[in-house]
Every structure is written in structure tokens, then in C-alpha cells.
Structure 1
Amino acid sequence: MPDIKLITENLADELIPSFERASGIYILTSFVMESGVRLLQPYLKAAAERGAEIKILAGDYLFVTQPQALRRLLNVDGRIEARLWRSYGTSFHPKAYLFDYDHGQGLMIVGSSNLSISAFKLGYEWNLAVNAKAEPYTFQEALNQFMHSFYHEQTITLHEESIAQYEKEYLAHYQKFPEMVRIITEHEESDMMIRGKSRERKESSSDTTAQASIQPRPAQQLALDALESTWEEGYDRAMVVMATGLGKTYLAGFFAKSFRRVLFIAHREEILLQAQRSFQHIMPERSSGLYNGMEKDSESDCLFASIYTLGMKKHRERFSKGAFDLIIVDEFHHAAAKSYTSVLEYFRPRFLLGITATPDRMDGKDVYALCDGNVAYQIRFIEAIARGWLSPFQYYGVYDDTDYGQITWLGSRYDEEELLAVQLREEMAERVYVSWVKYKQTRTLGFCSSIRHADFLASYFRKKGAKVLSLHSQTVEMSRSEAIRRLAAGELDVIFTVDLFNEGVDIPSVDTLLFARPTESLTVFTQQVGRGLRLSEGKSHCAIIDLIGNYRNADLKLSLFQLDEPENEEGQQRKVAITAPPGCLIDLEIGVVNLLEALAAKKQPRKENLLAAYRELKQELGRRPSYLELHLYGKAASREYHQEFRSYVGFLNWAGELREQDDAASTLLYEWTREICLYRLHAYFERKA
């Protein structure tokens, strides 16, 4: 190469030959992104294996460096020495790549490129590459300065503990400045720079070549890496838990590229059609087709099938058991239902992938068992907000003085007629309307208890001058797709619905959610909240307007919006006031605060509280729960049963839940049953890990 060379693109093409040749590799970079480590990983590994000395110094400035990138770097090879510069808010912005070839030869590259895919492959950068032979003094000075910086008192060795500490600070910073950090991260981690913008314009056109170049977003790439590792480790099934809005369907499409024939299963037509479009964007060269009530394509490379059609014996047996290399089940929390059992038991794919935002069920069926407890990747929406991948929220708790204790509870829901008698009143509709006017933004989804409730509120809002539609299975004046288009275009202010928008429908511009119904299912509530958290141009946050009364789960639902609290030495979660993550807001009317305090004051002594939690779960399941189910679905922490009663069997005996023969067996085999319970729970989480 010439003595001095300007490099403005594809820096990786200049770096890789040096990795293959150098006896010493020294990298100094402000920011380390997982995409950059992933690109360099095989070359770093090969260099370490042939004995090259490798030292990498990264910075924590502005908390752009990703903890997961540091972990990946740490796992490349134990012979690589990596350290982190603690900037303490002071600018730390160097970027240098030094390669020592011995005998006075080497290469120094200094410029604008951090350790990221954007800087190496996609972005427009300026870097000067200097031949060490032409500038021996400068090269040696650079090596000396690097070593001085590498072992500076402001640096710390990278290991799991130091990364964990950095991660805490990183997440706290994300929560405090979500928008700023999101922009910086996108700049470093994606192709949103000069040529990337051009590519983005092409992808929005109908050019299939441009569509084929679509790349995973950061959350998708993390999940994709985890899935690929799972596959390489020999697992044949796994689940991915990703918050609504992070692109689970696109993730599945990226993963599907490695398999010849793919079956995508869902329970809603909208999900099937959306998935087909997503897969076509990613793999335009593959054929795709539908297998549902109306269409029966059985030959395409990628098949998108309704569970209700495949649930019929004659339809699934049109295919051989091994017809598909990859089977993807969307909204995987449904897969424990009977409608899925025959399908999942029939087919024998090379890999089964379940994707969902809400894996936990309350009907006693273990979704985790369907993937052998193997959760390849998990990110909930609070963490996604902290990372700038979802919109922040402002939650407004509006007091509802309805006495829900007087309404009959039917095990999983309130009696509809009794509930309607309360809801279909002008004063209740007025309370909902006034709250909406006070906190709303531009586009609202309103969630109601029933069709009659949705129609009633739509009529009331319409009389007040709002542009409203009640959208449900009986709506005839407008199609669902047209309603979505009008809401996105601002031609509708509100769509009232029941459960249509829980899953599979994306309207990123929705910036207001209105909950006019009591929360009966935390899973459904989580799904509905996710409808408003997608990022969209011009959207600063999602306003969540929630009427809160003394209904079931009223006090528990707010925990959905908080980061997990650390545990104390006794293993119990500290009780704290309700606080929102930084960048978000939780604003409760005084009536709501008083209600929550009253509910807290009614908390029972520990044993009685454990018994109440057990009985509630037993009522939900319709039978005595197993210890694992108690752990997964119970309101009380499972460890508390062990702390209070030494074992689950001991609790059951105290609660009078054992039959006479159970009681005799538990007395005789107490230690054995105790160990079995603990062993099974431990084994479950070993598989999950």
C-alpha cells in the first residue's frame, strides 16, 4: 500500500488483512457496538489462536458502548486483553487501529471510525492509514501512547463483574436520556448515515433488490445471534420473548433465511398476511403462499398457515411429518392450547421457534415446556424503552369509584350484564370522555369490555364532536384496514375496540391508549399497552389513560411499568413507592393513590397472604397447581413458601390441601418430596438458561 492512504468507506476491507498478518493488534475506540465485534470476531479469534498479542481499549463516554458488545468481546478468546476507560463525563473520543508486523513494519489507521458495523461497512468515514515503515517514529509513538492509555489509572479490566457494573450505569443513562442515546446508538449501530439514508429510500420503493438488503435492527440482531448460538449448540427448539414493537416477525424472517422450507403458524389472518409481507421483504427470491380457509398453497418455500386449518387432520396430513425445516409459531403463548397440540405433535421440523411478547399463561399450561424451557432471548418493554427502541410512556391513573366488589366474578372475568349496568351510564361515559380530552394526543385506541360498551362510548364521543369508530366483528360501515388507514392519517380521533388490536396489528402513529375497562388479564393488558409504544416520526411518547377502580389486579398492573426492584438479603423484593422509569411518567389521581393505599393496608399476614395467592391461582387453574406453576404464575414468590413451610408439600399440608393418602405419603417421604420439588424447579431454570 502507499505510505499514506485516505479511507472513506469499507474500512473493514483494510483491517481484515492486517488481522491475518499482525503479531500485535492494538485497538483504541470510543464506542464498541455489538455489530462491530460480531464482524471482527472470527478475525480476532484466528489472530489469538496463532499467538498474536491483542489489546483493546474501549470507552464509556456518553454510555454508547453496549454492555452486550463488551460481553461478546470478552467471549471471543480468553487471550484477548480488554479494558474500559472510565471517562466520568469527560470527552473520550479516540479511534485508532494499530497493527505491528515486527521488523519495523506495521500499519496505523487513525480517524473517525468506532468499532461498529456502520463505521466498518456502511457509513461515510475519514481515516488515514499510515505505513509504519514510512513513519517509524510516529508509529512507535502511537504504540507508546496506546500502552500508556491502556494501563491508565482511569481504566478497568473487563470481566463479568465490571461489565455488570457498567451495565447498571448504562441502563440508568438510557432511562434519563432515552431519545439522545437512541439517536447516537442508531447512528453507530445501523446504516442511518449518508449511504444508509439512500438505502432506506430504496427500501421504501418497490425495488425488490433494495428490499433484499434489509438489515436487522439492534434488538433483532441480538435475538438472532442468540438463536443462531442455540441452533449451533444442538437445540432443536427455542422461544424468543420480545416486547411488542421490536419486530418479532422480521426476526423470524431473518432466522428463516438459514432454512430451506419454512412453515409460519398463527391464529389470525392479519398476522399471516403481515408475516408474508415481512418475509417477502427479507427474501424476495423465495416463493410464499397461504394455507388457510380460502387458500391451500402447499408447494411454496415459505408457507403461512392458519392454526385452525392445520388443526384439521386432513389438512396437516397433506404434508409429510418432515416437510418443513423450520416451523415458527407466532404469539407462542397460544401454543399450549389444544388447537395447537395436534399440529406440534405431528410435524418434525429441524427447528421449532416460538415468538411472543407475553409467554406466561394463567390456564395452567406451561408454554416454556413446549420449547424444552429454552428461552434463547428475552427483552421486556421497560428495558426496550430504556434502550431507546420503544417510545417512552406517560401513564395517567384516573379514579373510578365503581364498586367492582359488587359485580360477580366468574373466575376469569366479570359478569357481562352486571358490568354493563355500570358502564352504560352517561356519568361513566362523561368521566371517560373528560379524562380523554385532558390527556389525549392525536390518535387513540380505546379498549372496552364488550361490543355494546364500545358502541356506547363511540356514540357518546361522537355526540361531543369527536371523530370516532367502534370497530369489532359486527362493524359494517368500514373495513378494518380502512379504519386503520384513517386513524393513521388523522381522519379518525379514536377507534374503540374490544380485543381486535391485542395482537398482530401495527399502527406506530398511535400515541394515546384509553383503557375504559377493568383489567381482567395482565397478559392482555400488556399486549394492549404494547400497541402504543412503537416509535414513529413526530411521536415523543405514548399517553396511557387508565380508569382504575377496586377491580382485580388493580394494584398489580402498575408493576408492569416499573423496573424490577433489587432483592434484599432475605430474597424478598423491597417495597417501594410507585415510580416510573426515567424519561417516563406515572401520574395518579389522589383517589387512585388512596385506593392503592387501602389495598396495601388490607395485606394479610405472610402465611395468610401465601394461602390467598395459592387459592387465587387454584381458582384460575381449576385444580391444585404444581410447584412450578406456583412459581411461574402465582402472585407470591415461590421461595416464600419454602421459607415459611420448608417445602411446598409442607404448605399444602398446613393449608389442608392434601388428601389423607397424600398426607401419609408426605410425612413418610418428606425429605425426598422436598428435594424432588427443588430439583425439578432447578432443572427447569437450568434448561431455560
Structure 2
Amino acid sequence: MANYQIIGPATNHNCITGEHDHFYPYLREAIGRALKIDLNVSFLMVSGVRLLLKDLAAAATAGVPITILCANYLNITQPEALYLLKDALGDRCDLRFYNVPNQSFHAKAYFFSYPEGEEVFVGSSNLSRSALTCGIEWNYRIDSRSHPGDCAFFRQTFENLLKHHSIPIDDRELKRYAKQWVLPKIYQQLDQLEADQPQETMEEPWPDNRVAQPQAGYEVDVADSVPAPMIAFPQPTGAQVEALYALKQFRREQLDRGLIVAATGIGKTFLAAFDSRDYKRILFVAHRDEILSQAAHTFACVRPDLSAGHFDGSCKDTAGAIIFASVQTLGNRDYLCDRYFAPDAFEYIIIDEFHHAVSSCYQNIIDYFKPGFLLGLTATPERLDNQDVFALCDYNVVYEVRLKEAINRGWLTPFRYYGIYDDLDYDQIDFKNGRYDDKQLAFLASVNHRGNLIFQHYAKYGSRRALGFCINRRHALYMTRYFRNQGVACAAVISGSPPDDGKALTLDRETAIKKLKDGELQVLFSVDMFNEGLDIPELDMVLFLRPTQSPTVFLQQLGRGLRKTRGKTHVKVLDFIGNYKKANLVPFFLTSTAPPESGGRRGYQLPTEADFPEDCLVDFDFRLIDLFKKMAQDQKKLKDRLVDEFDRISAELGRRPLRLDLYVHLDEAIYQSIRSKKDLNPFRDYLTFLDAIGQTTAAEKELLGSPGHAFLRNIENTAMSKTYKMPVLLAFYNNGAMKLAIDDDDLYQSFKAFYEKGSNRVDLLRDKTTANAMNWGKKEYVSLARRNPVHFLAQSAGEFFFLNGETFCLAPELDAFVTNPVFVGHFKDIIDYRTKRFYKERLEKMETQA
């Protein structure tokens, strides 16, 4: 049973001073019988909104008009509080910001209209739990029957503020406010005040004239940590509230898959559990047993009514309302059949750690099942191999909160990052396919000189609980042995059986975590076992003991220490950096931004203090700054790096990449550098690029300089504000049997097939002129095709497209090419690439606007 603060019934006098006579009962009583509600409150806090939300929702459902005017002054009003109101009340509440720049707004007035008149409470209480239930707050009630002039004056002033000095808080304004919101310093004191209020336990139901407020508890994302205490009735908090609101709005566009990108520690598994409440049959997929068992614990807390089953190597449950499945097992095609699960067996599928979903097992699951909705969850969608995770959800990012924003908003702990110079010479180590040889690297790193460097800095900065990320098993055992010799209680957690001389140094995962949490151990050394699926809030230090070239791995490791817990003010990060490849990118991993292209007038520039999250410290050894500058100066020219990337992708694929392959796998920093450079961008004229690097076939050489080549180049560069041109081109493509002319039937069938896919359909649904496309037939689709893409292709590319009566045709010069399989293959590749590029650029545009 939760703990509760007991608050007595409202009294009848007008002077309310807190202490033994709090404001909350008066508000509940007034909301319950009002015919009109107007709240003029400077600051809205989550704790106060939660107190009144049920009563306000009941009033709104009964048709009571509600207006709330609040301030965005000083960032005190919490975005989460506004999202709670928007979600519960929707359009039934006129929610507004006071909008006078550089003008403070501290008014607190609560208006309630009744059949017999109006009353207004004027005083000191904002909408927060402490102000309504336990603080010393003075409020005075004015009744229009006894003080008509005073009531009228306040009412007139309020209406003037609404009419002339406010703006509506629509979805766009709320998102803008949330994105720029930074946790004010005063919140640390306010949070303490809210958390330290006296609580009383109540075991019996309370009378109707008394109210109860659940004690502040905490919730954890158990997919990232071991099970921890929770409040009796878990409810969404922080980013979960905003993400749930975004999911609700997203589904209104009838899209069937989406991605949540949220920094580790936000509570993504709880979010998924809350979001699942409208679904009866659910599949949760993950790649680690620990994540699955902890996710089962989460769902049992949020939805204890559901029967649960497990589908893994040892268990094949198929009947549970929610199935927790190992991707290695369920992704086996032997289990993807009606004998186990029909394609439509699940209404809702959740895939955790979605950045792994490019692998074949995940792809098998995604391709087989046809759920009502598929949700991907990840903290780090960018992969070391640059495979495009966003594409798996059709670039539908429902909600995103990255590291910097999560820290700025107070959801994660700030860090103190120390970049420490490591003289290990990486030039001596073999480097192949983007990786250093682990054995050679561990051999050079497992020496007392380096062990002492690490220990000295560990001792200098101090730690009670630390996590060290090592190169391989041998290195983890070496670090454990070295630290034990210095008197530090530590252990290694490694996969497989340890060697005979390392058995005494290791512990199993569960025991090691418990001992670290209990304070019996001070450091755990591991390789990759703790990159995902674990967060220990008590961690106060993470040690990066291996080269971290990937922003994904870097943020995964950093995220292990960012979980908040009482008394924790920051986490220390010790990163031992040497002359390894891409080391100069590390400063930008901390900002989640791409580094500027080197070679400009200013040379290599480190991020500034403003680029890092609030209250974070970043300190690089001056020798590292010199190293970073030298690496930037020695960097290959952009053209050479592009060719290196082409070769890397070719090796990974085992074949020459298509345009789509290169676009999906290309290093993002290189792509951003070449996209606006006409002479370097291979996607402007892929055939010419291939020829320049000696990669064209004999058949492709015959295409070079021909009308067919000119046509392909035109399609590569045609303007696209929407996807309308793609189904027209697909009609010409005709599943590989390319046509020179298409008619209305061709257009209709191609448009219908293209826009039946959810990610394509959204472009129609978001436009007012095509919002009813779900009900369209041949007439509407053909009309859209003819007045938009057909018209513009004929106008802008008349040398290739023309109208002949009711038929839309390709130029006669292309007759010799439409039966050429090489030409047809390039044509289809361009359509696929341009479609994917459109979605990616649409996502980038939405993020920029946000």
C-alpha cells in the first residue's frame, strides 16, 4: 500500500493560510460544482497537476469550459505538466501562455462560475503539491454576491490578459517549449521540498470528504537495471509522459510502426508497458535474457492483469497475452509459422535495443508479423557500420530525447568527463575492417605502466562504485588483478568460462551486480556485457579503458552511469585516449553533433562549453588537444575518404554497392560533407562516379553519355517536396518489365499500391487536400497523379516525358534502353534511393523545425 498525506475537508471561511487548512480541498470542491473554470496560475508543476487532473477531466467530460493561463517565465512551468493536461483534457481545455517578453508573471487566481454567481481565490498558491497540500500559502476567497466589484475587476483583468497578452499552447508551441526547457537551479530545492513533506500511512479507505496523495516514489526502466522498489501504482513520469502523448498523436495518422529514441535512463520499457494498455496481445522482443526477465517484471507492475509467457531456447510459450521472446529463438524461421504464431497473432510488437534490428533474426520477425503497431526502442540508433536503423521504421521517429536534452531537463545525472592522455602506440596494432586487433591491443594494454596510469587517476578522482570497460577477457582479468593488488575490492564479469588462473578473479553477472550495489565491491571490469541491458543508479564512475571509435558504443558506456538516485550529483568519466583512429571525434560524441569539416581557416575546433549539457564538466589533457589537431590536419582529403568508404561498404556487402546501399551505409559525417558539393556527391551522377573510380562494367560504359544516362541523371536530381513522383516512375518500371507509356489504370494501380504502405500514406494524410485518401478510388488517385507529378515531370523534364492524349509517355530516344537490364536496374535503384532519401530528409526537417 502506498503512503499518503491525509488532507481534511474544506471549511467555509474565506481566509486560507495553509498549515492546518490547505487550499487543495477548496479547489476540489469548487471544480466539482463549477459551470465554468478559469485558472490564472503563474507556474504549473507536475505534482500539482496530478492532484487535480482527475477532477478537471471529469469536469471537462461534463462539458464544463476550462481555461488555464500560465507563465513560461524562468522555465518554472514544467513541460511534463502541460503534456499531462493536453493528454487528459485535449481540446476541451483552452491552455495558454502569458506572452509578454521580459515581463514577470506571478499572478495566482482561480475563477469558478456557479448558477448563483462566481467566486475567485486570489493568493500565493501555484499549482504544485506543496503549495496545495502542505506549504504555508495564503489564499483569499472573494464571492461575487458579497463583493461584486472586486470579482468583476479580477474577471475583467483576466479576460484582458487572455485576449491581448496570451498565445495558445498547441502541439507545436508545446514541443518548442519542451525542447528549449532547461531545468532551473531552483528545482533542486523545489524537488527536495516536494520529496521531504511528511507522509502518513493509511490502510483503510478514506471518507469522500477526504483526499489522498500518493507518496513520491521512483520508477526505473527494468530493461536497463535490476528490479527495484516501485510505487504501488506506477504512472508515467518525465519523458514517458511526453512520449505517450506523441504516440497517441502519431497513431491518429494511421501509421503502423515508429521509433522512440531516448537516452539510457529515461525508462523506455516502462514507457512501452504504459503504451501497451490499449492492446490485448503483445510481443516483446530482445536479445538478452536479462532484458527479457526484467521487462517481464516491468509489465507485471504496469499490467498485472496480463498472462505472460516466454519464448526462448528453453521455453516455447505461445498462449500468453504477452510473450517475451528471445530474438535468437523467435528469429529462427522454423518458429515463424502458424504452428507457433500466425502473422497477425499480436496487436502490438515492441523491439528493444532497436539498433540491432538490422540483423537477419530481427528482420525475419519484422517481415513475418503484421501487428497493428510496431514500436522500436533505442538510445543509440546510429551504428558503427552506418546501417540505417531509422529506415526499418520508415523514418517515423515518434519521440526523441538525446543525452544533452535529457541532462538539461533533469532526467539524467550530469557528468564530469576527464580525457586522459594514454601513450599506448596504436600505430603498432593491426587495423582491419574498422577495428584494431583485440589480441595485439590487449597485449600492449596489459602492462603495469598502463595499469598504474589507470589506477592513479581512479584514486585521484575517487569512487565508491565504478564500472570499467575493457578490450577483451584477458584485459578485464589483468585490470582486476592489478586493482586487487592495490587493495581495491573488484571483480571481472566476462562471457564463457574463465581460464584456470582467472577463476578467482571473476563473478557471475548477478552476483557481481549485487555485491557492487551492496558496497562489497568497488569496481567491476567487463568487456561488452554491460554495454546494454544494465544500469546501476549508484554508479559514480565509468572507466573507458579501450579505444571508443563509435558514438553508439561511447554513449552506451556513458549511459551506464547517468541514472539518477538520491544524493548523486554527477558521475565521473575517465576516458583513456591515445592515437587511435577517429580519436579526434571523441569531443563531439559528448555533444551528439557531427564535427566540422577540417581544413577550414580556423582549423580543428573543439566544441565550446555551450555545446555540452548543463552542469557538465569536460576536461581534456592538453596533449590530447594537440593530438586531435594533428589528426585533423593529417586527415585524408574528402574524395579519398569517400572512396575508402565505398571500398569498406563493398567489403562488408561482398559486392559493389548500389546507390541505396551507399546511401544507407555511408559514414554520416562524410555524407553531410559531400551532400552539398556538386563535384563530390556521387548520388548526383552515380554512373560517372563509378567510372571515375574504375567500378563500371562494360555494359555500364556503353550507357555513359547516352540518352539513357541523361535520363537516369535527371531522375537522380529531380526535385521532390512529396513522394508523388515515385509511384509514377514505378508505373513505368512495371515490376521490371519497363514500359514506354502508361495510362490511368497503370497510374491508379501504382499509386494505390504505393500509398497503401503506412509510411507513404502519411504524406497524403498530413495534407488537408488529401487527408481523406483512405477513402479514395481510381478517380481521386488519377486526379492527384495528373495534376501533380505527371504535370511537373512533363514540364520540368520535357525531353524525357510527354503527354499523348490520356497516355503519359517516355521519349522515343529511351526505346532502346527500356529492355536493357542494366538500365532498368539503375532506374529501380534510383527510385528506391530517392524514396529512402525523402524520408530521411523529412525526418531531418522535422528535427530542425523542432
* TM-score between both structures, scaled by the size of structure 2: 0.69
- The residue type paired with residue 674 of structure 2 is Y
Corresponding residue number in structure 2 for 1:262? 282
The question of 1:417 aligning with 2:439 is answered yes
Q: 1:200 aligns with which of 190, 204, 217?
A: 217
**What code does the residue aligned with 2:555 have?**
T
- With over 3 angstroms needed to count, the CA separation of the structure-2 counterparts of 1:114 and 1:238, relative to structure 1, is farther
Q: Distance in 2 between matches of 1:552 and 1:258?
A: 48
The answer to whether the aligner puts 1:31 opposite 2:43 as a matched pair is yes
- Distance in 2 between the 1:574 and 1:16 partners? 63
Q: 2:837 aligns with which of 661, 670, 681?
A: 681
State the one-letter code of the partner of 1:649: F
| Cα distance in 2 between the residues matched to 1:291 and 1:492 | 34
Aligned identity (percent) is 35
Task: Kindly state the Cα deviation for residue 535 of structure 1 after the two structures are TM-superposed.
Answer: 0.4
Match of 1:138 in 2: 150
**1:48-87 matched pairs, under 5 angstroms:** 56-66=68-78, 80=94, 82-84=96-98
**Please, which of 314, 327, 331 is the counterpart of residue 294 of structure 1?**
314
> Could you tell which deviates more after superposition, 558-567 or 410-419?
558-567
Structure 1 residues 210, 337: closer, same or farther in 2, change over 3 A?
A: closer
Q: Distance in 2 between matches of 1:435 and 1:616?
A: 37
Letter in 1 for 2:696: R
Aligned to 2:267: 247
For 1:57, what is the secondary structure of its paired residue? strand
In the aligned structure 2, how far is the partner of 1:49 from the partner of 1:339?
50
Q: What is the letter of the counterpart of residue 247 of structure 2?
A: L
Q: Which amino acid aligns with 1:450?
A: N
* Partner secondary structure for residue 217 of structure 2: helix
Match of 2:187 among 155, 166, 181: 181
CA–CA separation in structure 1 for the residues paired with 2:326 and 2:566: 33
* Pair 1:479 & 2:508 matched: yes
Answer yes or no: is 1:636 the counterpart of 2:659: no
Over 3 Å counting, the alpha-carbon distance change for 1:187 and 1:613 in structure 2 is: farther
Summarize the alignment of residues 207-356 of structure 1 with structure 2, pairs less than 5 Å apart: 213-317=233-337, 318-356=340-378
1:112 Cα deviation after fit:
5.5
SS of the residue corresponding to residue 716 of structure 2 reads helix
The structural deviation recorded for 1:499 is 0.5
Q: 1:258-295 deviations in whole A, cap 9, x for unaligned?
A: 21122211111110111111111112232223222233
Residue 683 of structure 2 corresponds to: 649
1:143 CA displacement = 1.4
Report SS of the residue matched to 1:200: coil
2:498 aligned with 1:498, yes or no?
no
Q: Report the CA distance shift for 1:8/1:494 in structure 2 as closer, same or farther (over 3 A).
A: same
Q: Equivalent residue of 1:305, what SS?
A: strand
Equivalent pair of 2:685/2:716 in contact (CA under 8 Å): no
Does residue 95 (structure 1) correspond to residue 95 (structure 2)? The answer is: no
1:530 aligns with 2:550: no
- In the TM superposition, residue 67 of structure 1 has moved relative to its aligned partner by 5.1
The range that moved more, 344-353 or 121-130, is: 121-130
User: 1:377 maps to which residue?
Assistant: 399
User: CA distance change for structure 1 residues 344 and 467 in 2, over 3 Å: closer, same or farther?
Assistant: same
CA shift at 1:220, angstroms? 1.0
In the alignment, residue 548 of structure 1 is paired with which amino acid? Answer: I
Q: Is the 8 A contact 1:83 1:157 kept in 2?
A: yes
The secondary structure found in structure 1 opposite 2:542 is strand
Which whole-Å CA distance do the structure 1 matches of 2:604 and 2:53 have between them? 45
SS for the counterpart of 1:430 is helix
RMSD: 4.3
8 Å Cα contact 1:32/1:66 also seen in 2: yes
- Matches of 1:192 and 1:565 in 2, distance apart? 45
Given candidates 489, 494, 508, the residue that maps to 2:537 is 508
Q: Which has the higher contact order (CA 8 A, sep 6+)?
A: 1
Question: Where does residue 464 of structure 2 map in the other structure?
Answer: 442
Alignment of 1:659 with 2:696, yes or no, is yes
Q: What is the aligned counterpart of 2:488 among 459, 462, 466?
A: 466
Q: Rg larger in 1 or in 2?
A: 2
Q: Distance in 2 between matches of 1:116 and 1:85?
A: 22
Question: Which amino acid is 2:215 matched to?
Answer: S
- How far residue 183 of structure 1 moved from its aligned partner, in angstroms, is 5.8
Query: Aligned equivalents of 1:191 and 1:651: distance in 2?
Result: 65
Q: What's 1:390 paired with?
A: 412
What is the distance in 2 between the residues matched to 1:480 and 1:114? 47
Task: For residues 515-557 of structure 1, give each alpha carbon's deviation from its aligned partner in whole angstroms, at most 9, with x where no partner exists.
Answer: 1111143322211111010002221111110011121231222
Separation in structure 1 between the aligned mates of residue 216 and residue 412 of structure 2, nearest angstrom = 23
Q: 1:375 to 1:42 in 2, by over 3 A?
A: farther
> Which deviations, in whole Å up to 9, do the C-alpha atoms of 1:24-48 show, x marking residues without a partner?
x543112235798898799799989
Aligned partners of 2:108, 2:665: CA distance in 1, in Å? 47
Q: CA deviation at 1:15?
A: 5.9
**C-alpha deviation, 1:603, in angstroms:** 4.2
Give me the whole-angstrom Cα distance separating, in 1, the residues matched to 2:400 and 2:603: 24
Range moving further from structure 2, 249-258 or 605-614: 605-614
User: Equivalents in 1 of 2:275, 2:176: separation in Å?
Assistant: 32
Moved more, 56-65 or 144-153: 144-153
Output the CA distance in 2 between the equivalents of 1:201 and 1:78: 31
Higher mean C-alpha displacement, 315-324 vs 483-492: 315-324
Whether the 8 Å contact between 2:587 and 2:606 is mirrored in structure 1 is no
What residue ranges of structure 1 are gaps of 5+ in the alignment?
none
Distance 1:561 1:70 in 2: 30
Paired with 2:218 and 2:181, the residues of 1 have a C-alpha distance of 32
Q: Deviations over 1:174-223 (max 9, x none)?
A: 3xx56x436647978x99885656363999xxxx9995511111111111
Distance 2:430 2:391 in 1: 34
Offset of 1:372 from its aligned partner? 2.5
Give the AA of the match of 1:644: K
Aligned partner of 1:596 in structure 2 is: 628
**More displaced, 664-673 or 509-518?**
664-673
1:339: how far off?
Answer: 1.4
Amino acid at match of 1:543: K
CA contact (8 A) 1:212 1:284 kept: no
Between the aligned partners of 1:37 and 1:619, the Cα distance in structure 2 is 56
Instruction: Write the letter of the residue equivalent to 2:447.
Output: R
2-structure distance, mates of 1:349, 1:34 = 34
**Matched length:** 669
Distance in 1 of aligned mates of 2:709 and 2:46: 51
Q: What is the alpha-carbon distance in structure 2 between the residues aligned to residue 183 and residue 274 of structure 1? A: 33
How far residue 362 of structure 1 moved from its aligned partner, in angstroms, is: 4.0
Matched-pair contact (CA < 8 Å) for 1:443–1:509: yes
Displacement of 1:637 after TM fit? 5.8
In structure 2, distance between residues paired with 1:387 and 1:192: 23
- Residue 170 of structure 1 corresponds to which residue in structure 2? 181
SS in 1 for 2:242: helix
In 1: Cα distance, 2:229 partner to 2:469 partner: 41
Q: Structure 2: which 5+ runs fail to align? A: 1-9, 17-21, 200-211, 221-227, 719-829
Instruction: Pick which of 454-463 and 334-343 moved more.
Output: 334-343
Deviations 1:215-263 (A, max 9, x none): 1111111111112222333222211111111111111111122211222
Could you say if the C-alpha distance between residues 671 and 487 of structure 1 is closer, same or farther in structure 2, counting changes exceeding 3 Å?
same
Q: Which amino acid aligns with 2:550?
A: S
For 1:671, give the aligned amino acid: N
8 Å Cα contact 2:382/2:551 also seen in 1: no
Distance 1:397 1:683, change over 3 A: closer
**Deviation at residue 605 of structure 1 after TM alignment:** 5.0
Inter-partner Cα distance in structure 1 for 2:470 and 2:271: 31
Measured after TM superposition, the shift of residue 481 of structure 1 is: 1.1
